[in-house]
Structure 1
Amino acid sequence: MSIGILLVIFVTGFVFTNNYPLARFKQLRSTGWDSYSHIASWGLVFSAIGGTLAVVIDTFNLVAASFQWLNSNLVQLASASNFTRREGLFVIWAVLSIGLAWSFGCLFNTKACKKKAVARLAAENAFELMLYDSAEQVKPVLVSLSTRKVYIGVVYRVNNDDALGKTEYFSILPLWSGYRDKDSLSLKITTFYEDHYSIVRAHGPMTSERIFDQFKIVICSAEVSTFSYFDIAVYHALQPADNAAPTKA
């Protein structure tokens, strides 16, 4: 019976964390004992609720009534199972716990809840918070890679929203690109994409999604050397006159 109780608790926790966005994202970030304790904690919550409801059902003798109904309508099933009152109460508790976990998990598995979960988790990490802000507020970021290559653009996608864990890759729509000087590491902007996007649009209607799919750059987070917001006006103001990049490609 003890093994059965533990099994129900873990199954209940797994069902809920697999459906509720915030719990699912946190589970993806957990490892080792933290992962088990996270599942168990949610399992205990819904098992406690299910246990309370099972006691209420038992108090009003609904368990006995339900098995009387089985005896009268499903004779073969009832005779094959031969449930005792204790076993019947255990089954009712297990069904209620797992059912409640699944119901609440599905109820909160919405785009709005997913968006809030992403924002909440991103706020726990400065790097991911900037990725999230850039994607949500369309704010350009400057990404310097370990190769000294530099991309400036808007983060368009962070991993997969259905499986947000630690961000290993992210995609940006580049606005400008360049490199870091080998000696001074000063920024040199050499390529401007905005004019090209305008030319592409001029040849026919094209959605932002289509442009992204055509010109996106997927960056490995492990290759990022520095990451910051970028303002072209501030960049020009801080650059010496002879080093300032042109405003057109």
Structure 2
Amino acid sequence: MGTAIFMVLMVCGYWYTTRDVSSRFKLKRTFGWDVYFVVALYGCIFVLQGVLVIAIVYLLLWGFSGLMNHIPGLLSDELQLQRDFIMWSFLGIQAPVVIMLAVSVLLCLFCTSWSRSRNLDPAGRKSLYQQLTRSNGVEGLLYQCMDQGDLVFVTLRSRRVYIGMVHTLRCESGSTDNVVLIPMVSGFRDPETQKMQVEHNYASYYQKHGITPASEPISALYFRKVIMLNQIETLSLFDPATAMAFEALAEREREEEAEGGGMKSMFP
């Protein structure tokens, strides 16, 4: 009997944590033995709900039996429905235990499959993703770019660099988490100076050929890049106007340094 209870507890916990969006996010961020405790925690919730149902049925039978026994001349023997319910067995197992496990499984299936609260509309799913990605810097920034249409500056471990728009973001399964990027500019970082060297200007190509996200027969999605999240080294928002202002400021500082060096050489 103990083995059956433990098995149902773990199965219900695993079923719920792998199908509920919020719980799946929490499970993905859990490692080692903590995974088993998270699964067991959710399983205990369903098993305890099954125990609560059995307790309610027992109290109802106890109350009904007491009421019937207090009516004079109605019954010849004392009615003990609650005792019969507890002693009732099914295939060698006490029937209340079987009912408790069945209720736990049904509640788990209801919460993951049939409950309307699990079928989130786009607005509800958007709100949930915003809340869940708030604790992760990479996912939070990518979701912000996807939601607001901002450009993102991505540097990969291979030193490849992409500047583009986030089309979709998947951060639920762990090892296959990825971001789909519509590139505007791509290149690489110089190994010595770490400055970005532009290799492809997609934005200019889009403008020249009239390519948009909805154009036919070729759209901007044709050039999309799928990047694994575990390959991202640095990530930041990108604003073209700010980037040009910084570049102009750096160029002016270099010119001033060069002029200052020339003056010093003329007047030692």
Using the size of structure 1 for normalisation, the TM-score is 0.75
Contact 2:151 2:239 (C-alpha < 8 Å) held by counterparts = yes
- Indicate how the Cα distance of structure 1 residues 84 and 217 shifts in structure 2: closer, same or farther if over 3 A, else same: closer
Aligned match of 1:192: 201
Aligned with 1:101 (options 92, 105, 108): 108
> Is 24-33 or 106-115 further displaced after alignment?
106-115
Aligned match of 1:224: 232
Aligned with 1:238 (options 231, 234, 246): 246
Residues 114-160 of structure 1 deviation map (CA, whole Å, 9 limit, x = unaligned): 4444333322221121122112221111112344332101122223x
Post-superposition offset of 1:192: 2.6
Amino acid at match of 1:233: A
> Is 133-142 or 230-239 further displaced after alignment?
133-142
Structure 1 unaligned spans of 5+: 63-80, 245-249
Aligned match of 1:135: 146
Aligned match of 2:215: 206
Please show how residues 8-87 of structure 1 align to structure 2 within 5 Å: 8-61=8-61, 83=90, 87=94
- SS of 1:30's equivalent in the other structure is coil
Amino acid at match of 1:131: L
Higher-Rg structure is 2
- SS of 1:127's equivalent in the other structure is helix
- Indicate how the Cα distance of structure 1 residues 224 and 86 shifts in structure 2: closer, same or farther if over 3 A, else same: closer
Amino acid at match of 1:41: L
The whole-number CA distance in structure 2 between the counterparts of 1:9 and 1:99 is: 12
Structure 1: 4+ residue segments shifted above 6 A: 241-244
The whole-number CA distance in structure 2 between the counterparts of 1:126 and 1:101 is: 32
- SS of 1:60's equivalent in the other structure is helix
- SS of 2:18's equivalent in the other structure is helix
Amino acid at match of 2:103: L
Amino acid at match of 2:166: V
Aligned match of 2:81: none
Percent identity at matched positions?
A: 26
Residues 59-110 of structure 1 deviation map (CA, whole Å, 9 limit, x = unaligned): 3349xxxxxxxxxxxxxxxxxx962897211111111111112212232433
Residues 159-203 of structure 1 deviation map (CA, whole Å, 9 limit, x = unaligned): 3x6x44366532211112233344322334453322433455469
Structure 2 unaligned spans of 5+: 63-87, 253-268
Amino acid at match of 2:179: F
Please show how residues 113-192 of structure 1 align to structure 2 within 5 Å: 114-159=125-170, 163-165=172-174, 168-192=177-201
The CA RMSD over aligned residues, in Å, is 3.3
> Is 89-98 or 176-185 further displaced after alignment?
176-185
The whole-number CA distance in structure 1 between the counterparts of 2:59 and 2:228 is: 58
Contact 1:29 1:166 (C-alpha < 8 Å) held by counterparts = no
The whole-number CA distance in structure 2 between the counterparts of 1:148 and 1:235 is: 19
The whole-number CA distance in structure 1 between the counterparts of 2:125 and 2:36 is: 22
The whole-number CA distance in structure 2 between the counterparts of 1:218 and 1:48 is: 44
- Give the total of aligned pairs: 222
- SS of 2:23's equivalent in the other structure is helix
Using the size of structure 2 for normalisation, the TM-score is 0.70
The whole-number CA distance in structure 2 between the counterparts of 1:126 and 1:242 is: 29
